[in-house]
Amino acid sequence: MHKGADPAGIAHPQTTNYPPVQRSFLAKRSGQLNFPPSPHCAKKSTVQPLRLVLNSYGLVSALIPRKEKVPPFDIREIPGLRKICAHLKSMLKSQNFSFLYNFGIVNPSLHEMKLDHPALVKSLQTAYSAERAASFAYIGHAGSLINPDEKAGVKQIEKDEWNHRSHVLELMKHYEIPVSRFLELKFFLIGKAIGLSCYFIGRFMPYFFAGKLESGNVCEYFVMIRYFHSVGITAHDDILFEMGIREKEHEVFFQKMIKDEKWLPWFEKFFSWGIEKSLNDLDLNAVLPVEMAERYCRHFRAQKSERTS
Ligand SMILES: [Fe+2]
Ligand SMILES: [Fe+2]
């Protein structure tokens, strides 16, 4: 019989004289799944059902598309989203959304700040939060007073403190200094606690400690003037000077309120503040011009560190 034809006489396309096993291997490797039957196989061999299965699989797989590998979805690839995000960010920093800035939601990182003076940045952040604490304390203080004139005086001071807070915030926004959430919380609690305590500690002590606090606040603003000058900025002298003078007026108001109290000499001796002693060197009867603001509170930081050490 002629080689390459099966026993039934059907012509076989393969003419190479490979052994049967090797032919099957070559057919598989070339992707020919529907390989021809071996001439050595019988007509009704076990290969026939296998061919049927393979053909069926080919048909089915051709009808059903294979699952393509889908790359993970990246939200940044949405057209225009980057532009929208940049626009939103600039809007949040603007005046329209200043309330978010006030709560510390929009906080530029430290390297983005325009003021390279850590002590000044800290002073502004502290002043901003402490002014609110003072306002809360004076709300409680005014509420605890009976005399309507005294009540009105303390309420006016509370308004001044809110104004100071807004002025300080303007400065912070100008230099993109973030509001400290830690200081906000800390001074919120302090202010509320002091305000509440005013209802329980009588008339004298709220006046005394408010006066002592104001006495220290005076120099905070004059020290800020000096800090600004050290980096060549004089643009805020007027507002800082005015706030410092206003704090001195608060101190004097509280001094007057308790000048005749019998407890004052004892408290003055123990807490180093009263009619004779003060934590600043300002005299409202002889106020220096703004240009000479640096002459005030020159030893304030040193005195403060001595007291705290
Ligand atoms: Fe203030
Ligand atoms: Fe004040």
- Identify the pLDDT of residue 3: 45
For residue 209, report the distance from its CA to the centre of ligand 1, in Å: 15
242: pLDDT strictly greater than 70 = yes
Rounded to the nearest 5°, which phi and psi values hold at 5? -115, 140
Same domain, 84 and 208: no
Same domain, 52 and 154: no
Same domain, 82 and 164: no
In a domain, 88, yes or no: yes
Same domain, 139 and 287: yes
The tally of CA atoms less than 13 A away on the side-chain side of residue 21 is: 0
25: pLDDT strictly greater than 90 = no
For residue 161, report the distance from its CA to the centre of ligand 1, in Å: 4
Same domain, 292 and 206: yes
Highest mean pLDDT: which range of 78-82, 183-187, 278-282: 183-187
- Identify the pLDDT of residue 75: 62
Higher pLDDT, 58 or 114: 114
- Identify the pLDDT of residue 128: 97
For residue 128, report the distance from its CA to the centre of ligand 1, in Å: 9
110: pLDDT strictly greater than 50 = no
Q: What is the mean pLDDT of the chain?
A: 79
Same domain, 49 and 97: no
**Residue 7 exposed, middle or buried by CB count within 10 Å (0-12, 13-18, 19+):** exposed
100: pLDDT strictly greater than 60 = no
Cα separation of 42 and 36, whole Å?
Answer: 13
Amino acid identity, residue 296? Y
Ligand nearest to the CA of 138: 2
In a domain, 175, yes or no: yes
Closest CA to 263 of 247, 275, 252, 251: 275
How many structural domains comprise the chain? 3
Same domain, 124 and 269: yes
* Residue 39, both tokens: 């001439």
pLDDT tens per residue, range 195-233: 999 999 999 999 999 999 999 899 999 999 999 999 999
In a domain, 70, yes or no: no
For residue 243, report the distance from its CA to the centre of ligand 1, in Å: 7
Same domain, 100 and 157: no
For residue 143, report the distance from its CA to the centre of ligand 1, in Å: 19
Same domain, 227 and 288: yes
Amino acid identity, residue 62? A
User: What distances in angstroms separate CA 214 from CA 51, 101, 192, 219, one per listed residue?
Assistant: 98, 27, 17, 9
Cα separation of 122 and 138, whole Å?
Answer: 24
Exposure string for 57-66, b = 16+ CB within 10 A, e = fewer: eeeeeeeeee
111: pLDDT strictly greater than 80 = no
- Identify the pLDDT of residue 246: 96
In a domain, 30, yes or no: yes
CATH number of the domain where residue 212 is located: 1.20.1260.10
For residue 216, report the distance from its CA to the centre of ligand 2, in Å: 10
Q: Which of 49, 84, 106 is the last residue of a domain?
A: 106
Higher pLDDT, 255 or 83: 255
Domain enclosing residue 176, as ranges = 117-308
Higher pLDDT, 104 or 180: 180
Question: 58 and 31 in contact (C-beta within 8 Å)?
Answer: no
In a domain, 263, yes or no: yes
Same domain, 52 and 164: no
For residue 259, report the distance from its CA to the centre of ligand 1, in Å: 22
Ligand nearest to the CA of 251: 2
Amino acid identity, residue 2? H
For residue 140, report the distance from its CA to the centre of ligand 2, in Å: 15
pLDDT band at 116 (very low <50, low <70, confident <90, very high): confident
For residue 164, report the distance from its CA to the centre of ligand 1, in Å: 5
In a domain, 97, yes or no: yes
Angle between helices 181-197 and 118-144 (to 10 degrees): 20
Ligand nearest to the CA of 243: 1
In a domain, 111, yes or no: no
In a domain, 112, yes or no: no
Same domain, 61 and 102: no
Nearby residues for ligand 2 (ion, Cβ within 5 Å):
214, 247, 250
pLDDT band at 27 (very low <50, low <70, confident <90, very high): low
For residue 123, report the distance from its CA to the centre of ligand 2, in Å: 15
Specify the range with the lowest mean pLDDT, choosing from 25-29, 140-144, 180-184.
Answer: 25-29
For residue 27, report the distance from its CA to the centre of ligand 1, in Å: 92
108: pLDDT strictly greater than 50 = no
Same domain, 95 and 235: no
For residue 7, report the distance from its CA to the centre of ligand 1, in Å: 112
